[in-house]
Amino acid sequence: MSAILTPEVPATESPARNIRRTVLPNGLLVLTESIPHVRSVSMGVWIASGSRDEPQAFNGISHFVEHMVFKGTTSRTAQQFAREVDSIGGNLDAFTGKENICFNIKVLDENVAPALDLLSDLVLHPTFTPEDIAREQGVILEEIKMDEDNPDYLVHETFTQNFWKGDALGRPILGTVKTVSSFTQQIVFDFYASRFTPRNMVFSAAGHLDHDSFVAQVADHFSGLAASSESPLQKLPAPATHAHITLKRKRSLEQVQLCLGVPAPAVDSPARYAVYLLNTMLGGGMSSRLFQAIREDKGLAYSIYSETSPFRDTGALSIYAGTSADKTAEVLRLTIEELRRLKEEPVSETELKRAKDQLKSNIVLGLESSSSRMSNLARQEMYFGRFFSVDEIVEQVEAITPADVKALAHELFRPEAIALTMLGNLGSLTVDRAALAC
């Protein structure tokens, strides 16, 4: 196939990172970043929808289809895939998130052609046989049971389901025993046909490659994928959050798992860098306030951290800790105290600089491999529609002031917005809203 551009969408370039984009005639967007000094190429097919875009009756279908494409295609068995990937020293993987699905492979630059053939065959020609569907249902049902036996996973899942209660964003990516058991071949094929369309895909690649020749190879494989005549997938509005207090008693556990969180800005919010810095100082590393106050100073927990979960239209900032039942109240009190301090006292320039240096290091080191660059390309395209240079990001990080952090803490840590989940041998422990006042 020689035509590689639609007339109305020219290729654009990013000179700072040598990024180029091309839209094929059927609507498939191809992104590349040429990195001449490496010997690897990472490529990925990204589907711009995930578990939050599923109907409730089909919860888990995105993850199920991600598994099923590995079970064989019209030209290869699953065993043949494994052998061919190993024969070129490749690393083939996939994952499903709340808002996307990704199939990716990383190889030496000399093996781009066979790797692209494998990846495209995987994505474009799955067979979804009834026998494979039945077997994979059994596998995923065991995966669901395994996760439900993991208290760390279970407390986060319980928190999320109640935080975005009644919305697809709160439902588990794996689905439930009921929904996964209901999937038939027709359901799988219908879902695949509705989501695996050119305009709902991004093909990204990074490494030692030439954009024009790579796009020509992608076009050869994907030209048969017809442009969808249907309108783009309808994205539902941002869900409401619920400031719940959920105590889930499970006597068999030695520890109490605690997850506390608040609503946070969306992934493309102008406040995102302030959120990242606030999270870093609160519980993002060994020098963070929670780690020092709860683990190092008091010895109350082994695991204590905070994290952000940003999505296209909403987000959460949450804190996790695992501790014994008799220390739970103290861990909760100290956590609330740290939230109050961030609201009442400006962070020092020294602490803020340390957080900035840590964040900048994570950003730069996170872009040192071809696979991370490939992922970064796709995510920036899907969420921002443009590409940010490292210098641009660093400049915005450096612009954050102690006053910005304090103002953000006031906005986020409102007692009436705090949600809490506790899981474990709670005994007679109770928590009321007054205990969350910060």
* Phi, psi at 94, each rounded to 5°: -160, 160
Q: Write down the catalytic residue from 8, 13, 33, 66.
A: 66
Give the 3-state secondary structure of residue 32.
strand
Q: Which of 262, 213, 228, 302 is nearest to 418 (CA)?
A: 262
Active site residue 381: no
| CA–CA distance, 51 with 386 (Å, rounded to integer) | 25
Is-contact 98 168, C-beta < 8 A? no
259 sits in which H/E element: strand 256-263
State both tokens at 249. Answer: 């008693």
| 91-96 vs 101-108, strand pairing mode | antiparallel
Is-contact 70 83, C-beta < 8 A? no
Helices (H), 284-398: 289-290, 328-344, 349-365, 370-384, 390-398
Q: Which of 75, 64, 101 is nearest to 378 (CA)?
A: 101
Distance of CA 124 to the CA centre of its chain: 23
**How does DSSP classify residue 246?**
E
| CA–CA distance, 43 with 77 (Å, rounded to integer) | 22
- Give the Cβ contact number of residue 167 at 10 Å: 19
Q: Give the position of tokens 């996307």.
A: 100
Residues noted as catalytic:
66
